[in-house]
Amino acid sequence: MNEIFLMKLGEIVLKGSNKRQFENKLRQNVRRRMKAFGNFDVYIMQSTVYVQPMDEEADVEGAWDACKSIFGVVSLCRCRPCEKNLDAIYNAIEEYLGDDLDCAKSFKVESKRSDKAFPMTSIAISQEIGGRLAEAHPHVAVDVHHPDYTVYVEVRDLAAYVHGPAEPGAGGLPTGVGGRAMCLLSGGIDSPVAAWMMAKRGMEIECVHFFSYPYTSQLAKDKVIELARLVTRYSGRMTLNVVSFTQIQEAIRDNCPEEFFTLIMRRFMMEISMRIGKQHGCGALITGENLGQVASQTLEAMAVTGAVVDIPVFMPLVGFDKEDIVTIARKIGTLETSILPYEDCCTVFTPKHPKTKPTLGQVINAERKLDREALIQEALANVEKITVKFHDEPAI
């Protein structure tokens, strides 16, 4: 029998009558991810996703790497299925894990008997298999408390499975069970992390980016496309909506007090993002805002910018230290792209002395000379929609 992946479910196992809904969505997501790597059978039994290559042409290594980034899975392992008898289990361990055992200083066998019809208890299986392995590998000590290597035996409904230590999965909930949201994606460190965090809670992610040519370059746009591509490793494919923002920023510069530039710009971004989001079936916005990080991210400023939308605004990073955000960005692979020196439109026309404690009335008065609706309609009429997938060529 060929190698197979076992992917253990995370908090899905705690669900009640709707557990099947979560499992079905996870199975759909895994099947969709596996299509790029060949013919795989994907099914769920006993709170475990089974991913089995069905022919020799399947790209097992590529599929294994993809499985590590699928939300809803707490841990995963590559294993060898075998018949449910001691001889078959022992032979499978020797063939599949023998080299790893030879390299270890000590080992133990840990067994789990999900099939209660199997005549031996989990402890008895571990003792019997452990004894045989100790005789076959006399130079490797038995240590049941702090082993250098652990052999796992799982006796399940369809077969027995042997494997080494599992690897951590992506965790969270399956993409799609938490609704859909529109993320304001800049070229910085924070917003890709925010998108990843909400995708981890089961949300389908779409993104919007505001592009101010010629004040920002094509490289800045490509950088954001690349960040979106990196996020799709976890979230699945997405649409990136690129909004031309130059006309709005110039209108703000020409008609509004300088200290309010950033706040008014953010209000336009929020409202345009909401309108595009509603067209895409999004029920919320996601931002990478972090309390106190910059002048536009004070409590008062965030209240003013959020006042223009009538859907929830999720700010998953609001209480994080910057180093916490950087650590996640490094983990998910977006940091190196985020720190490339291509500035986005948030750095255009930055006021020297921004207002940090505005009131809503002050901001509304500051933007009174603008024809907000005309500017928004013009921006919405020229949105560039880019479909982004992880297996696309890198944009930068």
How many Å separate Cα 23 from the centre of its chain?
Answer: 18
Q: Are residues 152 and 186 in the same domain?
A: no
Q: Are residues 162 and 311 in the same domain?
A: no
User: Considering 119, 139, 170, which residue would you say is the last residue of a domain?
Assistant: 170
Residue 228 burial (CB count, 10 A) = 30
Q: Are residues 213 and 281 in the same domain?
A: yes
Q: Which is it for strands 284-286 and 48-53: parallel, antiparallel or unpaired?
A: unpaired
Pairwise CA distance, residues 388 & 240, whole Å: 7
Q: Are residues 228 and 158 in the same domain?
A: no
Q: Are residues 231 and 118 in the same domain?
A: no
User: Considering 170, 198, 220, which residue would you say is the last residue of a domain?
Assistant: 170
Whether the bond into 214 is cis, omega within 30 of 0: yes
User: Would you place residue 1 in the very low, low, confident or very high pLDDT band (cuts 50, 70, 90)?
Assistant: low
Whether the bond into 119 is cis, omega within 30 of 0: no
CATH of the domain at 334: 3.40.50.620
Q: Are residues 258 and 129 in the same domain?
A: no
Q: Are residues 207 and 163 in the same domain?
A: no
CATH of the domain at 163: 3.30.2130.30
Q: Which is it for strands 106-113 and 284-286: parallel, antiparallel or unpaired?
A: unpaired
Each residue of 68-117: pLDDT tens digit? 999 999 999 999 999 999 999 999 999 999 999 999 999 999 999 999 99
Q: What is the pTM of this model?
A: 0.93
The domain total for the chain is: 2
Each residue of 286-338: pLDDT tens digit? 999 999 888 788 999 999 999 999 999 999 999 999 999 999 999 999 999 99
* Rg of the chain on CA atoms, in Å: 26
Residue 342: predicted pLDDT: 79
Residue 25 burial (CB count, 10 A) = 19
* Domain membership flag for residue 322: yes
Q: Are residues 309 and 384 in the same domain?
A: yes
* Domain membership flag for residue 228: yes
Q: Are residues 335 and 271 in the same domain?
A: yes
Q: Are residues 326 and 383 in the same domain?
A: yes
* Domain membership flag for residue 256: yes
* Domain membership flag for residue 394: no
How much of the chain, in percent, has pLDDT values that exceed 70? Answer: 100
CA distances from 388 to 13, 92, 221, 231, 240 (A): 32, 42, 13, 10, 7
DSSP assigned state of 314: E
* Domain membership flag for residue 335: yes
* Domain membership flag for residue 396: no
* Domain membership flag for residue 54: yes
* Domain membership flag for residue 175: no
Structural domain boundaries enclosing 249: 180-388
Torsion of CA 208, 66, 28, 38, to 10 degrees: 120
Q: Are residues 140 and 249 in the same domain?
A: no
Each residue of 238-292: pLDDT tens digit? 999 999 999 999 999 999 999 999 999 999 999 999 999 999 999 999 999 999 8
Q: Are residues 217 and 334 in the same domain?
A: yes
User: Considering 170, 202, 232, which residue would you say is the last residue of a domain?
Assistant: 170
